[in-house]
Amino acid sequence: MKETWRWFGPHDPIPLNHIRQAGATGIVSALHHLYRGEAWPLDEVLKRKDAILAAGLEWSVVESIPVHYSIKLRTRACRQFIAAWKDTLATVTKAGMRVICYNFMPAVDWTRTDLQWLLPTTGFALRFDGVDFAAYDLFILHRENAEADYSEGQVRKAHERFKSMSEALRASLEHAILTGLPWAGVSYDREALRRLIAEYRGVTIGELRNNLIAFLREVVPVAQEVGVRIAIHPDDPPLPLFGIPRVVSTADDVRAIFAGCDMMENGLTFCVGSFGARADNDLLAMVREFAPRIHFAHLRQVMREAEGIFHEAEHLHGSSDMVGLIRALLEEETKRRRSGRADHEIPMRPDHGHLLADDGDKKSYPGYSYVGRLKGLAELRGVVQGLQYAMPELMSGGSKGVR
């Protein structure tokens, strides 16, 4: 597997030479200063690529080309933003990129209710608590008609939780939720969040899924033409938020996406943590079913504490069988090598590392501290090498059958 590391560009507090010291050889990046849906100019893409090459690394995955909300809602403005997305797709391919990760999460991207949840022995983690989230939605944001999206019991628990919070805790909760909003070089506040949510009022799960498939039917043929694979990232968390449906949360969702645009270039970013936040997702079965179209992997863990509550766990110890999942991905790589697929090596990266040691003294994006991801990558590397040692066919693609 190709070891990669997410880098947010020149303003990332973690420099490229530190990433190289971590042992990663590939970089996962995007032009975050051009994140409002406009086409990325080739000179800007090459500038980023040259900086990565100068550090002795390669730009392996583009994460993400943002999908403008007009595309998700299929409004009249979507035409210009789909055209820009296609242009960016072609541009990054000219610069040598072959894997594009993107998401189709409506209104908010990844969402947590605590950005520094204290663990017993291993630092601080990101955490999502559905009761805290409902308390924010109902009694801080005061979203219109929000009560309709919760049971009486959920509303009662949320009200009790809200009453128990100090003003400081309420402010911290709001900060955590706003941090996960789509990044476009702007700051968000409560009113901006209300406006974003209002854009999706009344949108059904069927409409959102149809809009995604319509988008894919336009961009995937371009991906095939220019020789690039696109890989959708699952919803994080994989459940409706603020009364808005989500359509990349389950195996059935992925089947619908693949059936709606049945081309190999239309693939999946398999995020263990995102899919693993739902107990009804059988991750090992999903990897085996979708393996040929898994173009990228986020090997992070969550620990499900109770229904609607989870936190980012250590990379090898959580609610999912990480070792079994890595073995299944290595088996897929072996099958690809034997069939002659040029994309036999699947890029992977550690994700949402804990805040460890002196990471707390540094300014880093939540979940993207250095030591936590360094530890995670080392653990994942050990699993890969251990499996390859025990099962040489997973490395050599030799004549032994895949077990």
Check 271, 354, 359, 370 and give the catalytic one.
271
Q: Using an 8 Å Cβ cutoff, are 338 and 397 in contact? A: yes
Strand duo 347-349 + 294-298: pairing: parallel
Judge whether 233 counts as a catalytic residue: yes
Check 352, 354, 359, 370 and give the catalytic one.
352
Best CA proximity match to 346, nearest among 325, 369, 370: 325
Check 69, 188, 368, 370 and give the catalytic one.
368
Check 129, 132, 236, 351 and give the catalytic one.
351
Measured between alpha carbons, how far is residue 379 from residues 123, 187, 367, 372, 385 in Å?
Answer: 17, 35, 17, 11, 10
Give me 263's structure tokens: 């081309």
Judge whether 351 counts as a catalytic residue: yes
Assign 3-class secondary structure to 309-369.
EEEEEECCECCCCHHHHHHHHHHHHHHHHHHCCCCCCCEEECCCCCECHHHHHCCCCCCCC
Which helix (H) or strand (E) element contains residue 17? Answer: helix 16-22
- HSE-up of 120 (CA within 13 Å, CB side)? 0
Judge whether 32 counts as a catalytic residue: no
Judge whether 35 counts as a catalytic residue: no
Judge whether 129 counts as a catalytic residue: no
How many residues does the structure list for the chain? 403
Question: Is the backbone of residue 227 left (phi > 0), alpha (psi -120 to 50) or beta?
Answer: left
Check 68, 298, 315, 354 and give the catalytic one.
298
Check 102, 200, 233, 295 and give the catalytic one.
233
Angle, to 10 degrees, between the axis of helix 283-290 and the axis of helix 322-339?
10
Give me 97's structure tokens: 């990129």
Judge whether 271 counts as a catalytic residue: yes
Indicate which residues carry an active-site annotation.
233, 271, 298, 351-352, 368
